Amino acid sequence: MYRSKDREEKYLFKQLLPFGGELAEDNRWLKIKGLIPWGELEAAYAQRFSERGRPALDGRLVIGLILLKHMTTLSDIEVVLELQENVYWQAFCGMEGFRAGKQLDASSLTKIRHKLGPKYMKELEDKTYRVLIDKKIIKAKGMLVDATVAPEKIKYPNDIGLLNDVRKWIVEQIKEVSKKTGEKVRTYARKAKKLYLNFAKKKQKTKKEIEVTKRQMLQFVKRNLRQIKERMHEFDYFIQKEIERRVKIATMIYEQQHTMYKLKINKIDARIVSWWREYVRPIKRGKGGGKDVEFGPRVSLSHVDGITFVDEFRHENYSEANVDIVEKQIRNYEGRFGKKPVSLTGDQLYGNRENRELLKDEKIRDAFKPLGRKNPNTKKQEQYMRRKQRERNLIEGDIGNTKEHYGLNGIRYHYREGSEMWVRLSFLAKNLKIALARM
């Protein structure tokens, strides 16, 4: 159930401030507040709740706190505390006057985010960008395209550590069932723990030691999986489905690791690298540097007039230069600005024949290196290409800025849909700060 508040009267804290003062109208949070379509967002928020039951939290308060969290990179607990102390944050979140007490619990934000989901965050993005375009803060210019991986905040995975995480969880569930039934189950937990700790403490491990330890861990996991499957009917009805889901994931991990061990390979399709975030996939980096592989979703981006838009989000690896992805980015540009981009610039990966033909049909100028022999008549095109390729530094820098200052370098929402929400909100937070600088 949701009850919207009457926001027609504007108090602006005149009589309710503790020192009897007024808010400074040039404050950054009040300026950003004017860029958010609160009415439309609150109406979409209200649709997520039924007409019955206990009234939900105020939509303006929830939306405001989610935006403030990503613009400041604070935790949920810190955001709630800052709201309690900061009059400008309270004005941003739609409160009529200063309130000294605690407005909500930090856990409420987690529950609401689960309920809203990534579709609402995309609505939040689209409606906010529409305001920025209507106010001419964003202007339709040439489009830069690129892709990046948004790393999940997980420990660096290794096969033996992953198997140990699976084993520990299964043993805990077996112990819980054993307490209920009184049955003693020999899980070899202490022996397996000792094996893992002795292995983990070694700074340098030989190939033989890794193979032997992995084989033994596979045996422990196989035995524990069989034991928990035999006792599945002993679990309470309310948790049985979740236990079955986790056991299914554990079985998949065991089968993947067993296959790689037997075939002596390091790659397998849809490889699971994290026990608690089973949707995370390893993504091979196309660039040099210390990291050859990153663990997180792949995101296709477009950059227009200093603003970066999220066009495609997938947990599985894919080629950002696929013609279907590029066409989707062009259509998204049309949806935002009402016309096609005058130019499209990407790295050499985007310069395949399918993309060249697509841009030619769409009458969009590209900045790719001409195919075939060098032609002296194409000097102007080469100069244009070099200039546009230098402009690619803008989107590269934007990605780095968002990772460094807006939390994109470590996704902290620990569920599948949360990854997309985190990525979209990180870029939205960065874009709102850029819009603020232009006001």
| Mean pLDDT computed over every residue of the chain | 90
Average pLDDT score over residue span 251-278: 95
Q: What is the pLDDT of residue 372?
A: 75
Topology (CATH level 3) of domain 140-154+282-437: Nucleotidyltransferase; domain 5 (3.30.420)
Q: Compute the CA torsion angle 343, 346, 347, 352 (nearest 10 deg).
A: -80
Q: What are the residue boundaries of the structural domains of the chain, listed by start?
A: 28-123, 140-154+282-437, 159-263
Taking only the tens place, the pLDDT of each residue in 373-385 is 777 667 777 788 8
Average pLDDT score over residue span 350-364: 93
Any residues with CB less than 8 A from the CB of 56 and at least 6 apart, and which? 1, 2, 49, 112
Higher pLDDT residue, 226 or 51? 226
* Structure token pair of residue 407: 């939390």
- Tell whether the model's pLDDT for residue 89 goes beyond 70: yes
- Tell whether the model's pLDDT for residue 121 goes beyond 90: yes
Percent of the chain with pLDDT over 90: 73
Q: What is the pLDDT of residue 35?
A: 95
Answer yes or no: are the C-beta atoms of 417 and 117 closer than 8 Å. Answer: yes
Taking only the tens place, the pLDDT of each residue in 136-185 is 999 999 999 999 999 999 999 999 999 999 999 999 999 999 988 888 99
Average pLDDT score over residue span 226-244: 89
Any residues with CB less than 8 A from the CB of 93 and at least 6 apart, and which? 60, 61, 64, 65, 68, 83
* Cα angle, residue 330 at apex, residues 328 and 331 outer, rounded to 5°: 65
Q: What is the DSSP letter of 94?
A: T
- Tell whether the model's pLDDT for residue 13 goes beyond 80: no
Predicted confidence band at 20 (pLDDT cuts at 50, 70, 90)?
Answer: very low
Q: What is the pLDDT of residue 19?
A: 39
Taking only the tens place, the pLDDT of each residue in 33-62 is 999 999 999 999 999 888 887 888 888 999
Give the pTM.
0.91
Q: What is the pLDDT of residue 377?
A: 64
Q: What is the pLDDT of residue 103?
A: 87
Q: What is the pLDDT of residue 233?
A: 87
